[in-house]
Structure 1
Amino acid sequence: MAYIISTICDYRPRVIVKLIVVLLIAGARSEWWELGSNKKSLNRAADESIPCSEMRSLSRSQRTLCERYRDHIEFVSEGAKEGIDECQWQFRANRWNCTTAENKKRNVDLNTSTLFGKVIDIGSRETAFTYAISAAGVVHKIARACKEGKLEACGCSNQARPKGLGAMWEWGGCGDNTDYAYGFAREFIDARERDVQSPRSPESRAKKAMNIHNNEVGRLAVVRAARPTCKCHGVSGSCSLNTCWLQVPGFREIGEKLEEKHNNAIEVKVTKRGELRKRKRSSPDVGMMDLVYLDSSPDYCSPNPRTGVLGTKGRECNKDSFGKDGCGFLCCGRGYDSFTVEIVERCNCKFQWCCVVKCQKCKKRVLKHICR
């Protein structure tokens, strides 16, 4: 116990007791998003001959849903992968960069086989973002799969014609089915939390409420971002037929919106009835689209095997930047080492008829800065 306290001495006092309890009771539970963690997992999810019972990252209820909607699991896996990739892109310059077990290159014993390690057990704003972006990825992929006719249970969107659409535009093109995708994602993703019906500790009940809320934020981020898209049809550009349909935007746009919500996340507490309440009087009321968190973020600067933090030693930084990717912030005041490396890149690319682009390989020396 004394060792645990020493490793979290940088936290605010009121968080210390809560984190001690969380770290002691939290097992390294697998999460459904591990379906998208690597190529092997993606292939297993797509192989319908593999029983759902062998997918250990799924909870009991999720395995039942997997058996009922077996053709959906491939797209759940792809959505999880999309969420993981976007998390790593949005946090590429942060002290915690959404590192997964597959790309942990530093020698830190996390004593866990889960995708993000034990750091995800802390109810921080980074955990809130991870849950939201993963849920968003599933809605995004399922909505597109419905439109493309890849799922038996759904087809094109049948949403009503939106108000304000010009009379010359015909509504009824095959749109992304966000209604079905939202409903399926809600049933499947939240099943993980519902399986733990009566958490024993207040901390576990609070984390359950936090996860369910942030899952919903991610799902709604995709649904609310969908918008009418129109196209002209006709011979020789006559545009005699104008068709519109519902379409979700590229996932980068979803990631940027959720990253902004991460920056403005609200610290909450959970009542005995399981309701979320803001902890600080100065904070805004908790809205449906607000990410919420329970605990302050840990110190991501130094390795901590108890919390799963890897630290920032060995990370590349930008010495000319005063932002999050700058060496001053990313290296946490420890300084950095600079050295020159030789890289090979494509250059002098030319289009050749028909129809390939051929490039040369050029060597270039670049200066890199690495945190100590």
Structure 2
Amino acid sequence: MERLEWQEMENYERFLHRTSESGFQKTDLAAHNTPDWNGVNTVSEQFPDDWSKVCILTPVSPQAYLIYSSSVAAGAQSGIEECKYQFAWDRWNCPERALQLSSHGGLRSANRETAFVHAISSAGVMYTLTRNCSLGDFDNCGCDDSRNGQLGGQGWLWGGCSDNVGFGEAISKQFVDALETGQDARAAMNLHNNEAGRKAVKGTMKRTCKCHGVSGSCTTQTCWLQLPEFREVGAHLKEKYHAALKVDLLQGAGNSAAGRGAIADTFRSISTRELVHLEDSPDYCLENKTLGLLGTEGRECLRRGRALGRWERRSCRRLCGDCGLAVEERRAETVSSCNCKFHWCCAVRCEQCRRRVTKYFCSRAERPRGGAAHKPVRKP
């Protein structure tokens, strides 16, 4: 066995031992909750830096732990990258501090941004596990052919090799939900948003079909489900982020069995396809060292470009103007490879081209003479 495998095995055994010493029991919250929770009660750790610290009460086998943990870590990383992409031109741009999913250490809020981080991370893990299953990376997983031969709709049957999202969902749930502990509303919120991320993957699956018939006719079709590009999952969850529901609970709920039951009942009444949050978001225009927020001063924004969407084109207004900042224009010189040619044999030689570009940044507006600086009204 390779050294890495021995190290992972030691981590696995050490954290299983920690679980047994803790003597965890199913909580009242889990008992009252939806079947999606599966009564999971776990040790909360930082996510996703060290997956060896995931502690699972109904553990997968050591072999399975070794097989899946690398895919889980890769999926978590893809979720992080997608978060940064989706919020690149927002006031909150998925900073590193936001990526610590341990929510009971006093460092995390329970706002809609937290909801998105949980959902996209959970989706990334499920997506990667499902994709790796389809690629044949796991011996115990293959196509989902459970519906093959069944009538799917008018003129088509289930067939082919559907991506096995059931497998990805089951394994990702064990790993991701294992990061959450607690019996309060925040634990319920995090687990709910984890599930919303998994539902987003399932809800964006694409149906692909192949025609069958004489001389190329399409008398019948055989269809199967495939994963979309992960960017589509991210865009779907970004829409859910904008429509996230705020849950209002009584102060102190969760400190008793009755309170935990009330929390579970509240979250059960909300669709697991929706993101939920408990708190309002802070003002991301402003620097807040306590919350680890840098504000928008100094941020780059976009103004011109044929490929820019409406959201990107309005980023200077959103990041600068609406936050009471001016847009500063800076000229810069970039160097890139150009005029590349293939030379026999066998090299590609390029010239180094210099180009002057204009970039835009948010800067503190200068105070006008005879009065205070104008501060535009901020829009959400």
| TM-score normalised by length of structure 1 | 0.68
Tell me the distance in 2 between the aligned counterparts of 1:216 and 1:129.
11
- 5+ residue gaps in structure 2? 1-43, 254-258, 364-380
Corresponding letter in the other structure for 2:143: C
Corresponding letter in the other structure for 2:302: N
Corresponding letter in the other structure for 2:90: N
Corresponding letter in the other structure for 2:301: C
1:129 counterpart = 2:120: no
Q: Is contact 2:47-2:101 (8 Å) kept? A: no
**Superposed displacement of residue 252, structure 1:** 0.5
1:327 counterpart = 2:316: yes
**Superposed displacement of residue 127, structure 1:** 0.7
Corresponding letter in the other structure for 1:252: R
1:287 counterpart = 2:266: no
Corresponding letter in the other structure for 1:289: R
Per the alignment, do residues 354 and 128 of structure 1 end up closer, same or farther by CA in structure 2, a change over 3 Å counting? farther
SS in 1 for 2:288: coil
Per the alignment, do residues 197 and 309 of structure 1 end up closer, same or farther by CA in structure 2, a change over 3 Å counting? closer
Per the alignment, do residues 364 and 206 of structure 1 end up closer, same or farther by CA in structure 2, a change over 3 Å counting? same
Q: Which moved more, 1:157-166 or 1:318-327?
A: 318-327
1:163 counterpart = 2:152: yes
Per the alignment, do residues 62 and 337 of structure 1 end up closer, same or farther by CA in structure 2, a change over 3 Å counting? farther
Per the alignment, do residues 240 and 275 of structure 1 end up closer, same or farther by CA in structure 2, a change over 3 Å counting? closer
Tell me the distance in 2 between the aligned counterparts of 1:158 and 1:136.
23
Provide the residue aligned with 1:41 in structure 2.
Answer: none
Corresponding letter in the other structure for 2:193: N
SS in 2 for 1:342: strand
Per the alignment, do residues 155 and 96 of structure 1 end up closer, same or farther by CA in structure 2, a change over 3 Å counting? same
Deviations 1:189-221 (A, max 9, x none): 11222xx354xxxxxx11101001000000011
Tell me the distance in 2 between the aligned counterparts of 1:353 and 1:143.
43
**Superposed displacement of residue 121, structure 1:** 0.9
Per the alignment, do residues 113 and 286 of structure 1 end up closer, same or farther by CA in structure 2, a change over 3 Å counting? closer
**Superposed displacement of residue 352, structure 1:** 8.3
**Superposed displacement of residue 309, structure 1:** 1.1
Q: Is contact 2:54-2:175 (8 Å) kept? A: no
Corresponding letter in the other structure for 2:292: G
Per the alignment, do residues 322 and 76 of structure 1 end up closer, same or farther by CA in structure 2, a change over 3 Å counting? closer
5 Å-filtered alignment, 1:1-372, equals 30-35=45-50, 55=52, 58-61=53-56, 64-65=59-60, 67=62, 68-100=64-96, 114=100, 121-160=108-147, 161=150, 163-164=152-153, 166-167=155-156, 171-193=158-180, 196-198=181-183, 205-231=184-210, 244-270=223-249, 272=259, 273=261, 274-275=263-264, 277=266, 286-319=270-303, 323=311, 325-331=314-320, 332-348=323-339, 360-372=351-363
Identical aligned pairs, as a percentage?
40
Q: Which moved more, 1:319-328 or 1:352-361?
A: 352-361
Q: Is contact 1:268-1:293 (8 Å) kept? A: yes
Q: Is contact 1:65-1:188 (8 Å) kept? A: no
Deviations 1:103-139 (A, max 9, x none): xxxxxxxxx9948999971011111001000100111
Per the alignment, do residues 191 and 116 of structure 1 end up closer, same or farther by CA in structure 2, a change over 3 Å counting? closer
SS in 1 for 2:301: coil
CA RMSD across the alignment: 3.8
Corresponding letter in the other structure for 1:60: C
Tell me the distance in 2 between the aligned counterparts of 1:353 and 1:173.
45
Bigger Rg, structure 1 or 2: 2
Per the alignment, do residues 59 and 277 of structure 1 end up closer, same or farther by CA in structure 2, a change over 3 Å counting? same
Tell me the distance in 1 between the aligned counterparts of 2:235 and 2:334.
30
Tell me the distance in 1 between the aligned counterparts of 2:359 and 2:209.
46
SS in 1 for 2:247: strand
**Superposed displacement of residue 184, structure 1:** 1.3
Tell me the distance in 1 between the aligned counterparts of 2:90 and 2:276.
19
